[in-house]
Amino acid sequence: MKKLLIIFISLVAFQLNAQDLPYFKRAVKELSSSRYQGRGYARGGANKAGKYLEREFRKAGVDEVTLQPFSIDINTFPGAMEMWADRKKLRAGVDFSMREYSPGVKGEFPVYHVDTLNFDGDKLLADLAKAENAGCLVCCDFWFTYKHRKVFSKLQKAGECPNAGLLLTWEAPIKFFKAYGEKVVDKPIDWVTPEAIENVKRVKLNVENEFLNDYELFNVVAKVEGERHDSCYVFTAHYDHLGNLGRKVYYPGANDNASGTATVLTLARHYATHRPAFDMYFVAFSGEDANLRGSTYFAEHPLVPLSQIRYLFNIDMIGDDNPVLYCELSDAGMGEYPRFEKLNQELHLFEALNRGALAANSDHYPFAVRGVPCIFLENKEGHAFPHYHTPSDNRKTVCWDSYEPVFKLVTAFIDHR
């Protein structure tokens, strides 16, 4: 009975501490609004969002806020983004998008559809050398080209093959990525749905890219001082997202990752008014969608010695409603995993924790490989997940279910050792 009473009292305390859902919702809606144009790089959306976060941290009453600058090279698509398939206009971000490392392209092109049932790499290259196929766009399923990448990689390089570029089919919804945008390949590469390109003979494209050299970004780092300064806890989330696909389309990123960023804001507000035993750092990273550039820079130039981090919590995409919470842990953080599971069960937060293998998929990774105890928390494969990396990841499709249980799990781990 005594144990049950303690758990009950703790649960009530956690519920009181976590009642910041209205602020969480406001922050998600703000960050995913058109004001920040997808928090990307072409129109300064990421840096505008960073300045918003700086203001919010200061209003929360934290002790310090630091902007940690770094720079990246990144390909962007801020201008024209138009495509026609046999004179039917396609929708950017819905029927097609560009690969992140694609150059711009303007013109009309014949389409060569690859015969995947009777595929012969040598025959394909011989066909493309024929005059009737000169300057064509080669169309093929993306996963097929990946399987036969030795052949299809030649089609991306100038001088290797006379095709004008590639059309890679991908089942709807079409996704857009930035991770490999630090370069531009020789020929345009266009994602397109199978329905939009089926039996199409000619394609017209008008796409403008802009490559940004040494583009300046910054991490936003807030600190709440605890009673002890010899070690600390760190809460992270990336606030950047994909930005624009042309002048009219942007990626709001309400779930990815306004949801994680808003959670870190609420944690900062909580610990600024409930002074902790240890120093707390709240880090909003930029450059995550450009291959973890902000978190890697921080790990290489830490504002707090990595050896002093007791535990790092990376919160990414929790704007969903799956009753099972996905997580990854570093080797150094594995010893605490049973306690996460126990707290989750005692407080009835999620039906279960689903632990996956450590991967370079979010901002915990640069710390994990440097021996920092850390956990990655993500709620995926619920109703919001299909909208991931599409223009429909917005305030209408994001879910609010996971915020409070994530908040409670993290604060319970820290406050009840």
50 plus 173 within the same structural domain: no
- Structural contact between residues 236 and 283, judged by C-beta atoms closer than 8 angstroms: yes
220 plus 332 within the same structural domain: yes
> Rounded to an integer, what is the distance from CA 310 to the centroid of its chain?
25
Which residue, of 207, 241, 275, is where some domain finishes? 207
235 plus 262 within the same structural domain: yes
Q: Which string of b and e fits 117-141 if b means at least 16 CB within 10 Å?
A: eeeeeeebeebbeeeebeebbbbbe
255 plus 403 within the same structural domain: yes
The total of structural domains in the chain comes to: 2
Domain hosting residue 381, numbered range = 2-73+213-415
Q: Going residue by residue through the chain (417 aa), what tens digit of pLDDT does each one get?
A: 444 444 444 444 444 444 599 999 999 999 999 999 999 999 999 999 999 999 999 999 999 999 999 999 999 999 999 999 999 999 999 999 999 999 999 999 999 999 999 999 999 999 999 999 999 999 999 999 999 999 999 999 998 899 999 999 999 999 998 989 999 999 999 999 999 999 999 999 999 999 999 999 999 999 999 999 999 999 999 999 999 999 999 999 999 999 999 999 999 999 999 989 999 999 999 999 999 999 999 999 999 999 999 999 999 999 999 999 999 999 999 999 999 999 999 999 999 999 999 999 999 999 999 999 999 999 999 999 999 999 999 999 999 999 999 999 999 999 876
> Exposed, middle or buried, 301 (CB in 10 Å: 0-12/13-18/19+)?
exposed
200 plus 143 within the same structural domain: yes
190 plus 104 within the same structural domain: yes
**Residue ranges of the alpha helices (H) in 65-179?**
121-128, 142-147, 149-152
Nearest to 363 by CA among 311, 273, 271, 298: 298
Which residue, of 174, 207, 240, is where some domain finishes? 207
Question: Whole-angstrom Cα distance, residue 27 to residue 148?
Answer: 44
342 plus 196 within the same structural domain: no
200 plus 305 within the same structural domain: no
400 plus 323 within the same structural domain: yes
Question: Whole-angstrom Cα distance, residue 302 to residue 322?
Answer: 34
312 plus 259 within the same structural domain: yes
* Paired strand residues for 89: 84
Write out pLDDT tens, residues 26-74: 999 999 999 999 999 999 999 999 999 999 999 999 999 999 999 999 9
143 plus 47 within the same structural domain: no
pLDDT of residue 4: 44
- Structural contact between residues 202 and 86, judged by C-beta atoms closer than 8 angstroms: yes
pLDDT of residue 416: 76
CA distances from 53 to 63, 235, 403 (A): 15, 14, 18
Check which CATH number belongs to the domain holding 251 and give it: 3.40.630.10
Which residue, of 154, 185, 207, is where some domain finishes? 207
Check which CATH number belongs to the domain holding 193 and give it: 3.50.30
Write out pLDDT tens, residues 354-391: 999 999 999 999 999 999 999 999 999 999 999 999 99
Nearest to 366 by CA among 261, 265, 294: 294
190 plus 267 within the same structural domain: no
Enter the pTM of the model: 0.93
Nearest to 77 by CA among 25, 38, 21: 38
